[in-house]
Structure 1
Amino acid sequence: MPDVQDCLPTALYRAAQVRELDARLIAAGTPGFELMQRAARAAWRALRRHWPQADEVTVLAGRGNNAGDGYLLAALAQRAGWRVRVLAVGDPAQLGGDAALACAEARAAGVAILPWSECAPLTGVLVDALLGTGLSGAVREPYAQAIRLLNASGQPVLAVDIPSGLCADTGRVLGVAVRAELTVTFIGLKLGLFCLDGPDHCGALAFADLQADPRLLATGVPAAQRLTGAGLPALAPRPRNGHKGLFGHVLVVGGDSGFGGAALLAAESCLRSGAGLVSLATRGEYVAALLARRPEVMARGVRSANEIQDLAAAADVLVLGPGIGQGAWARSLLSGLGALDKPQVWDADALNLLAAGQLTAPAGNWLVTPHPGEAARLLGTTTAAVQADRPAAALALARQLNALVVLKGLGSLVATPSGELYLCDRGHPAMAGAGLGDVLAGLLGALLAQGLTMTAAAQLGVWLHACAGERLGRAGRGLVAADLMTSIRDLLEEHSPCLK
């Protein structure tokens, strides 16, 4: 599957890191005003490409460097013969440094600069040059009013660097935020453009490095790396005389009364993703139905921990938690499995039992797949707090548990205990349904069984799962979890062919 965002860099930065990169470029000899001019030219080119029939622009300008970009873009449009106005939401008299020079250039070009008013006409392409990446608290008036009216205008919107009101680090809306059709961002991709509310607010994303020396940019350590098909680990081709014993044995434990489907989805996902053998320990009443649906799964009804020990000893990888519930049966089955020295994937209620102090975490070599609510319980905080800074929450949980963490959601994150962070910007809202997490847990178990490391399995598994959902989501609502498996299999073959 072609990676539609391959033209973008993989490095993602927090706002302070991008400001540091900007300062390095200036210190290395590129004047700040020259960088501002390059940004304006990049935004102007992107505007004309995106709206080739446009001939009018209204720039909403604040009073920082983001406003300077807007004033210079207005000057470019004026010189091109467009109808142009700047609505100064920030007082131009308070501009300083390069932004003041930009405002002066716009005036010299003949741009009409008008004070902001709620009655001001919002016509043509609207350019958001209000607040930039430095915002940390809630948007204040009159900026909040300007953003609300901009969003309600029905006009096309270009955001300069970042939609105003969006946190550059987390993607959180700080009270109110611009909803852009196109965002042109500079020097380094901001992490918040890909997290939480970021994709809904930035629209299409264009990037300009402002002709920065790549060697200078390489000196900065990104906050995260974006997962792309070209940079992902791959499974090795299989020998022609390969057999099931070479590709791992996964044991899935789950499926309490009323939740048998979750365990079967995980087990079937293991098979479809290439595991050599898959066993399933579940409630006895489900075994006949499970074998009728998927006879390749070695399903066994179990009632206590004693019955599961032999199954666990024979497996190479454990997937614990899909549909297991939080009752005595679940606690009994899972109580001793954490002590086993095997790669383990913990999902769903296995994580809730761990958060409640009912289970002991493995010493290492394990992977957890929480959604934000489960992550909050493990961290002893709220779901809102996790969502407010998903990257920080994922890293904190990885350190706390000494585990590889997959924090699910828009912009799913893979965090390592050593502080590495990876983000997957693929997926589709049609994936918002039951059972998709169970499919992911099984996929991760299969990749581990076939020899990938924890980090490699998480990177590849999250990307495959999201891309499969994206591919199927094009048909719209009604995607069910089982649909994903065939698409994951197809994508895995495209990425890691079974034969050379």
Structure 2
Amino acid sequence: MVKETLDAPYSHYLLDADLSQKIDRRTIEEMEIDGFTLMEIAGSSAAKTILQKNNFNSGIFLCGKGNNAGDALVLARYLIQHDIDVTVIFLSGSNDLSPDAQKNLTLLKKFNHKNHLTFFDSWAQFNSPNQFDFIIDGLLGTGLTSDVRGDYINAVEWANKQDQPVISMDIPTGIHADSGKIMGTAITATSTFTFGGRKLGLYLEDGPEKAGTIHYCELPFPNKFKEDCNTYLLDDNWVKTESPTPGPHKYNSGVLYIIAGSEGLTGAAIMAAQSAWAEGLGAVILICPKGILPIYEQTLPPIIKKPVGSRDDFFFKEAHANQVLEILSEKEGALLLGPGLGREQSTVTFVHKVLSQKTSPTVIDADGLWCLAQLDEIPKPERSEWILTPHPGELNRLTQNAESQNEYRLQTVREYAQTTGTTILAKGMPGIIGTPTGKCYLTNYNTTYFARAGSGDVLAGKVSAWLALGYGPTTSCAQGLLNGKQKLEKYLAEHQDLPEPSDFI
């Protein structure tokens, strides 16, 4: 294999609340960089970006009493130095702020030499000015574990009704830092500045919709303190789509076998084969029931066809397994099993027999996953490498977990990948790659298109192609996802209509 794992840059590590707090505490205690300094860097980083990209004159700062408010107060201090009027509302009063937030409040008042500051010590006292340009959300941060309550609800609802942009400090108020779940109510931010590490909840469930544009601001956290992280953000800032290098012979340039198709479901095999062929493989070999061979002879000229059974066979049967295994042994290559396979009981037995005896790198998709779910246990040989590509419903069926489609989807993928020793490419938003080691990767871009009929076959073809080219399962999933994304973006840039899957193969 060319590359077995993806090494994300530290800027793309996704931290849960516990790890975020642990890193912050260790930096203060072991590196002797105090919390006040960290707060200063966070607020000044946000201020720099805001001043560069906007022409604001006045803003409303909604503040709680913790360090989230402290970040907002640092930001306010920088903005008043640029003659921006600031109105600060303390939802819980200003007498018992966290020590670093209290220190920054004192400092902020010292910088107010042109009277740009107005303070309110409760929500009840607040009178909204007639004109203002933006709202800063410094209410509640990553420590939120229960529903938003009291005047914080009023402040959130007020902010969400305004036309002005809302900018959140670290994470939008009301979003759970680990799950992305809305805790009763939540700020709908235009943009979010996340400090020192990207918060996991920004990319799960309601997080992406509530966070808006996410700006990562680096803090002086030692990278070694982040090593306990096991979830990473996947995007083309660091995963570069590569071009395959042709070998001296077609069978040296990547060979992919595809076991697919049944009567009425021939299109899935066509989409998968065309998608894989477009990635530059030396040979794509489609194994199909002989009864549907004429369809593929007409539609897939470049693809090698290997029919099994008789002309009266329109789906795979247990009796075909030995013949298929003989074909798979002819050339070394990867295997894609499942598109359009059908759901006959004999096909389930066929799938079990083939998979239990084939050790080559394998992608299992669509009806192949349905067949797996019918078995008492997955028939994975000990040394084989499998990639499973379920959509949310298929993931639920495989894991028998009714909660796998909500905020527990990441946990379900992680646990199932570890338990079964497989790599999981879970389609949905976000796309999730789960690995046997427990590491997971979340997509930082829209993957909902891959839930459309046919597009999953295209994705399976691309992932399988990279596996056939000699890449490891994790890298193959990442390359397949990004390649599909880039071709879709290119198509949409040239056309106004939503493409059919075949348009961006």
| TM-score interval, smaller chain | 0.7 to 0.9
Question: 1:295 maps to what in 2?
Answer: 301
TM-fit CA distance, 1:7? 10
| 140, 145, 148: which one aligns with 2:149 | 140
Contact kept? 1:334, 1:359, Cα under 8 Å: no
Which of 134, 137, 161 aligns to 1:152? It is: 161
Tell me by how many angstroms 1:56 deviates. Answer: 0.8
1:254–1:324 contact (8 Å) kept in structure 2 = yes
Report the counterpart of residue 36 of structure 1 in structure 2. 39
* Aligned amino acid, residue 331 of structure 1: V
- Name the CA distance, whole Å, in 1 between partners of 2:474 and 2:420: 15
**Under a length normalisation based on structure 2, what TM-score does the superposition of the two structures give?**
0.85
Whole-Å separation in 1 of the counterparts to 2:93 and 2:125: 15
Q: Contact 1:249/1:276 (CA < 8 Å) preserved in 2? A: yes
Which stretch shifts more, 473-482 or 174-183?
A: 473-482
Name the aligned partner's letter for residue 158 of structure 1: I
Following TM superposition, by how much is the alpha carbon of 1:44 offset from its aligned partner in structure 2, in angstroms?
A: 1.5
Q: 1:272 aligns with which of 275, 278, 287?
A: 278
Residue by residue over 1:260-311, the C-alpha shift from the partner in whole angstroms, topping out at 9 and shown as x without a partner, is 2122111211211223222334455643333322222234365323335333
1:372 equivalent to 2:389? Answer no
1:22-421 aligned within 5 A: 22-27=24-29, 28-51=31-54, 53-108=55-110, 109=112, 111-114=117-120, 115-117=122-124, 120-121=127-128, 123-210=132-219, 212=220, 216-221=222-227, 222-229=229-236, 230-231=238-239, 234=242, 237-239=245-247, 242-282=248-288, 286-299=292-305, 300=307, 303=313, 304-315=317-328, 316-339=333-356, 340-357=358-375, 360-363=378-381, 364-382=384-402, 384-421=403-440
CA–CA separation in structure 2 for the residues paired with 1:430 and 1:290 = 26
Letter in 2 for 1:97: P
Change (3 A) 1:472 1:178: farther
Conserved? CA contact 1:40–1:72, under 8 Å = yes
Match of 2:458 in 1: 439
Unaligned runs of 5+ in 1: 1-5, 486-500
Q: Are the aligned partners of 2:231 and 2:440 in contact in 1 as well (CA < 8 Å)?
A: yes
Number of residues paired by the alignment?
473
- Structure 2 contact 427–450 (Cα < 8 Å) conserved: no
Tell me what 2:503 maps to. 483
CA contact (8 A) 2:235 2:445 kept: no
1:107 Cα shift? 4.1
Q: Distance in 1 between matches of 2:9 and 2:438?
A: 26
Amino acid across the alignment from 1:464: N
Which residue identity lines up with residue 167 of structure 1 in the other structure? H
Q: Secondary structure at the match of 1:387?
A: coil
TM-score using structure 1 length:
0.86
**Partner Cα distance (2:281, 2:322) in 1:** 21
- CA separation of 1:309 and 1:447: change in aligned 2, threshold 3 A: farther
Q: Secondary structure at the match of 2:11?
A: coil
Aligned-residue offset at 1:329: 4.7
2:443 equivalent among 424, 439, 454: 424
- One-letter amino acid of the structure 1 residue matched with residue 366 of structure 2: A
**Sequence identity of aligned pairs in percent?**
28
The C-alpha deviation readout for 1:215-252, integer Å capped at 9, x for no partner, is x223321332333444458566234xx22211333222
CA deviation string 1:197-231 (max 9, x = no partner): 33322222222213x16xx2233213323334444
Distance across 2 between alignment mates of 1:168 and 1:30: 24
Over 3 Å counting, the alpha-carbon distance change for 1:348 and 1:83 in structure 2 is: same
**TM-aligned CA deviation for residue 148 of structure 1:** 2.5
Task: Identify which range, 264-273 or 197-206, moves more after superposition.
Answer: 197-206
Task: Output the CA distance in 1 between the equivalents of 2:323 and 2:107.
Answer: 77
Cα distance change, pair 418–200 in 1 and its aligned pair in 2 (3 A): same
Offset from partner CA, 1:117-153 (integer Å, 9 cap, x none): 4974273211111111112333333323322221221
Pair 1:90–1:24, CA change in 2 (3 A) = same
Using the TM superposition, name which of 250-259 and 372-381 deviates more.
250-259
Matched-pair contact (CA < 8 Å) for 1:274–1:450: no
Question: Is the contact made by 2:14 and 2:200 (CA closer than 8 Å) also made in structure 1?
Answer: yes
Structure 2: gaps spanning 5 or more residues: 1-7
